[in-house]
Amino acid sequence: MNIVIKQGRVIDASQQLDAVKDIYISADKIVAIGEAPAGFKADQTLDAQGKWVLPGLVDLCARLREPGSEYKATLLSELRAAMAGGVTSLACPPDTDPVLDEPGLVEMLKHRAKSHALAHVYPLGAVTRQLEGHFLTEMFALTSAGCVGFSQADTAIVDTQVLWRAFEYSATFGYTLFMRAEDPYLAKNGVAHDGEVASRLGLKGIPVAAESIALQTMLRIAQNTGANLHIARVSTAESVELIRQAKQAGVSLTADVSIQHLHLTEMDIGFFDSMVHLKPPVRTQRDRDALRAGLLDGTLDAICSDHTPVDEDAKALPFAESHPGASALELLLPLTLKWAAQAKLTPAQALLKITQAPASILGVAAGTLKVGATADVVIYDPEVEWRVDSRVLVSQGKNTPFLNQSLSGKVSATITSGELVFQQETLQLGVQPNLHAV
């Protein structure tokens, strides 16, 4: 199908483009920007006047809950949510059930995701078998099956000899390790930042040192082995400074922050609001300000959704017993642009953190509108005012700290591989959106 997107404000950080232009799509590629190519005849015309035309978003961490936790969400429900949020490429961590530590499981997930013809799914394989931290997985075989990197999700490798071997092996073959820094003993049974709010509410705290001690170990091993290290979901000011110093010392290092941690602090827990039970926990305003500053100066490279759908019953439990996580695929874009407005950034500067930067970290061809690129395109209406409502969210997980808050801007349409798969005009309360292959 040939598609033309007319008179939208095209914003693409990868080519420093911010101008009103037409975009021409043929088959699954962007074939021209501005003037129609010779002989082009549109089968479908999309009017984007007054709207923004953006590259499809790239998300570094989205849990799709398959296999094993379909009662929380399904692959189809979360890929639908990705389309509603304009996320056309996403990485999923290996903490499924069973764990993504065997090539056959990775191949099955890739096949199922491809059959839905929605977002491009890039699995991260487990660093150790069953994520238990004892024996390394067959990383080469997992890469051949479709893994773009390796992760321990939210579990730690306590044995530093095993950790060292994982870094050495990944350095030998050029793999990237996506690691979240947390000392499991210091964080044990913790559910909130170890500070004033946790003390007042009687909640077991997770100290800043739990992150920084584990991070220092990883940085030192990365420096000694030459491994490519990505630090996932940084949460503290101390970690930002450690990453800044490591980059200056020449460590092969990137890092991201979740969209929740850019906007929330420990004060948002309020009176035991389990929607703010996250992992890692939201921390102080000083930490939040440091995360924002780290994004501005390039210490932190990208923003992720850390999408973690949780069933209603698990979130309805008392704070300390509730399951951590937030549903965020549909909020990543408007919340990123909200941060951009507060930080006085241009849209292109902010969009870089959720398009080209994460694509580069994953090593995938995505997050760009360059001619010849795969046509993953988002049409976004910056003027729409809407309320985050459980009836509006497409994700099966309705758990978000931003529930009932008002946001500006919403995805109007999403094109994946040259095919229109989502149109916001069909999204009404209680009605599923018009999505391809559902």
Residue 3 near residue 25 (C-beta atoms within 8 A): yes
Tell me which residue of 259, 272, 267, 270 sits closest to 316, measured CA to CA.
Answer: 272
Tell me which residue of 258, 217, 213, 254 sits closest to 235, measured CA to CA.
Answer: 258
DSSP H or E stretch at residue 246: helix 237-248
- Catalytic, 306? Answer yes
Spatial separation of the C-alpha atoms in residues 195 and 186, rounded to whole Å:
14
Is cis: bond before 280, omega within 30 of 0?
yes
Residue 421 near residue 118 (C-beta atoms within 8 A): yes
> Choosing from 12, 59, 194, 306, which is the catalytic residue?
306
**Count of C-beta atoms within a 10 Å radius of residue 67:** 16
Spatial separation of the C-alpha atoms in residues 334 and 75, rounded to whole Å:
23
Residue 343 near residue 292 (C-beta atoms within 8 A): yes
Give me 328's structure tokens. 């965020």
Spatial separation of the C-alpha atoms in residues 158 and 398, rounded to whole Å:
34
Tell me which residue of 24, 10, 25, 28 sits closest to 374, measured CA to CA.
Answer: 28
Q: Give the residues across from 178 on adjacent strands.
A: 151, 230
CB under 8 Å, gap of 24 or more: what pairs does 71-76 form?
71/311, 72/309, 72/310, 72/311, 72/314, 72/396, 72/397, 73/309, 73/395, 73/396, 73/397, 74/396, 75/109, 75/112, 75/113, 75/116, 76/116, 76/438
Which residue numbers are catalytic? 306
